[in-house]
Amino acid sequence: MLELADYASLLQNALKKNEFNVFGCRCSIIYSGRAESYLPPGDRIVIIKSDNSLLVHQPEGNNPVNYMKPGSSHYISFDDGKYFLRSQNLIHREYMDIEIHEIYFFESKHLEDGQKIILTGTEKDMAKMLFDNPSLIESGFKPLSMEEQTAFGFIDLFGYDKENTLTVIECKRYAADFKAVEQLKRYVERIKQSKGLTFVRGILAAPKISPNAEDLLHQEGFSFVSVKPPKYLERYDAKQKTLDGF
């Protein structure tokens, strides 16, 4: 079993090599930057990535309890018989001191990964699906553009309905709330002003809508269409049977 001093030495050397480092320890943490925090002593793991980002995770929960952004710098210091991992990010003016009371394990390894995640079922995918299948909105709907940075703002989808009325569609992949309605309203207002029109239709497309949002939606004269975000891989998986057995 290694002593804290041995681990500290290992860590100090590893930090020079810009590899992936992870260690389990008992520690307490002070952070000062955009906000300030103190975390009393307890067991956590600390990760220092090759881009010099730092994460501290408690034994439970999805999110890091403390962290530093990529581009930070880290060093070990020994003051008054205590070990500290001190981190700073000068660009963001953020500082962190981890007082390390004990180290349980330490791993350092060069990790190679240039891959990016492929994600489907996003709001953008919803807009594309509606662009390609406009009857999901309503029969006779003619899409003009999607996900476009227009002069009036970033609009998910817009086009003409079967009465040739200009229509703005705002997509939400989750249950639409009244903020989504306000967003739609903002776009409709901007387009009316920009094009000098007295009426522009607004449609909110989402899996469902909250009661408050629906009230506001109807007050504004807009309408709701129930649409779920598309999941292309689901069909793929059904063929490949890789997610069977659950």
Partner DNA sequence: GGGGAGAGATGCCGC
Partner DNA sequence: GCGGCATTTCTCCCC
Contact set with a copy of itself (CB under 8 A): 20, 22, 24, 30, 32, 34-45, 47, 49-51, 53, 55, 57-62, 65-67, 69-70, 86, 88, 95, 97, 104-105, 107, 109, 111-115, 117-122, 173, 182, 229, 231-234, 237, 242-243, 245-246
How far is the C-alpha of 225 from the C-alpha of 237, rounded, in Å? 28
Relative to beta strand 201-206, strand 166-171 is parallel
Helix pair angle (211-219, 178-195), 10° resolution: 20
1 versus 35: smaller Cβ distance to DNA: 35
Tokens of 152: 């009036």
Among DNA, a copy of itself, none, the one that 170 touches (CB under a kind-dependent 5 to 8 A) is DNA
Among DNA, a copy of itself, none, the one that 1 touches (CB under a kind-dependent 5 to 8 A) is none
CA-wise closest residue to 112 among 17, 19, 15: 19
CA-wise closest residue to 52 among 80, 98, 21: 21
Closest contact distance (angstroms) between CB of 19 and DNA is 20
97 versus 220: smaller Cβ distance to a copy of itself: 97
Among DNA, a copy of itself, none, the one that 156 touches (CB under a kind-dependent 5 to 8 A) is DNA
Closest contact distance (angstroms) between CB of 170 and a copy of itself is 15
149 versus 198: smaller Cβ distance to DNA: 149
Among a copy of itself, DNA, none, the one that 6 touches (CB under a kind-dependent 5 to 8 A) is none
36 versus 163: smaller Cβ distance to a copy of itself: 36
**164: Cβ–Cβ under 8 A, 6 or more apart, which residues?**
none
Closest contact distance (angstroms) between CB of 13 and DNA is 25
Instruction: Provide the residue type at 51 as one letter.
Output: D
Long-range contacts of 223-230 (CB under 8 A, 24+ apart): 224/176, 225/136, 225/137, 225/138, 227/126, 227/129, 227/130, 227/136, 227/171, 229/121, 229/122, 229/123, 229/125, 229/126, 229/129, 229/173, 230/120, 230/121, 230/125, 230/126, 230/129
Contact positions vs DNA (CB under 7 A): 31, 33-35, 37, 61-63, 65-69, 91-92, 94, 96, 117, 119, 121-124, 149, 153-154, 156, 170, 172-175, 177-179, 183, 186-187, 210-213
66 versus 143: smaller Cβ distance to a copy of itself: 66
